[in-house]
Copies of this chain bind each other. A is one copy, B any other.
C-alpha cells in the first residue's frame, strides 16, 4: 500500500462525488485518499452508496484542514488541471506522469501525492504552486471539463496500466483448443469432397481457384477443435434429404 501515490481531493463540494472518486480509485488499485476540508460528510449515506463497494477507502481517508497540511509529509506533488495556468511549471500528460510516478515509487525515491481541485473551479493557484509539476489530461479542447471522479479515473487508469502487464491482444478459446492445421485442412478436404458431387464444382478450370478460396476462408479465422466439429455437423445436416 505504500507503493502508490496518495489521491488528494481539495475541498470537494459533494460527498457523492467523493464516493464516486473512491470507486474510480479502487478500479485502478488506488487506496490512499486524503481530503482537504471537504464541504460535506464523506461518510454520509450518499457517499457510501456512490462509492459502490469502495467504502473502505472512505473509512480510511485522512482529513486535513488545508492543502499545505495535506502535503506536509510527502516529497513530490503533482497537480491536475484542465487548462494551462499562469504558473511556470513542468506539465506532463497523464500518461507520462503515471510513468514517472511509477518509476519513482518503484525506486522508492518519493512519497507522492496527486492533487485534484473542487468540482466547479478546479485547483486554486495557491495549491498549484505547492506542486512540483502539473498533470494535464489530453482531451478535446472544445469540451475538456471532466467531473471529479472521471479525472481521478483517467489519472488512476494510466497509473494502473503501469502496474500490470496486460497482453495487447489475446485469443480466448475457453475450454476448447485451437485446431491443428491438419484438422483444418482435413475439414476443407472433406468439404471439397462433398461439394464435388455438384456439377458447379466440376468445372476443372474454376475448381483450383475455388479450392484456394475455401482454404483461405477456413484458415483465416483460427478455428478451434469444437468449431471444426460444428462445421462437420453443418455439412452433414445440409446434405440430409
User: CB within 8 Å of B: which residues of A?
Assistant: 23-24, 26-29, 52-54, 84, 86-93, 95-96, 134, 137-140, 142-146, 149-150, 153-154, 157, 160-161, 164, 166-174, 176, 224, 227
Q: Which of A54, A145, A170, A174 has the most CB of B within 10 A?
A: A170
Contact status B143-A90, CB under 8 Å? no
Within 8 Å by CB of A27, from B92, B143, B166, lies B143
Contact status B172-A87, CB under 8 Å? yes
Contact status B154-A139, CB under 8 Å? no
Contacts of A168 in B (CB 8 A): 92-93, 95-96
Provide the bound-state CA to CA distance between A96 and B102, in Å.
Answer: 21
Contact status B88-A176, CB under 8 Å? yes
Contacts of A90 in B (CB 8 A): 169-172
Contact status B88-A174, CB under 8 Å? yes
Contact status A157-B154, CB under 8 Å? yes
Contacts of A24 in B (CB 8 A): 150
Provide the bound-state CA to CA distance between A149 and B161, in Å.
Answer: 20
Contact status B93-A166, CB under 8 Å? yes
A149 nearest CB neighbor, chain B only:
B150
CB distance from A180 to the nearest CB of B (A): 16
Contacts of A154 in B (CB 8 A): 153-154, 157
Contacts of A54 in B (CB 8 A): 143
Provide the bound-state CA to CA distance between A92 and B161, in Å.
Answer: 14
- A and B contact pairs by CB, cutoff 8 A, 30 listed: A26-B143, A27-B143, A27-B144, A28-B139, A28-B140, A29-B140, A53-B145, A86-B174, A87-B174, A88-B176, A88-B224, A89-B171, A89-B172, A90-B169, A90-B172, A91-B171, A92-B168, A93-B168, A93-B169, A96-B168, A96-B169, A138-B160, A138-B161, A138-B164, A138-B166, A139-B157, A139-B160, A140-B160, A150-B150, A153-B154
A99 nearest CB neighbor, chain B only:
B168
Contacts of A139 in B (CB 8 A): 27-28, 157, 160
Within 8 Å by CB of A88, from B95, B138, B142, B173, lies B173
CB distance from A21 to the nearest CB of B (A): 11
CB distance from A63 to the nearest CB of B (A): 23
Contacts of A28 in B (CB 8 A): 139-140
Provide the bound-state CA to CA distance between A95 and B164, in Å.
Answer: 13
Provide the bound-state CA to CA distance between A149 and B149, in Å.
Answer: 11
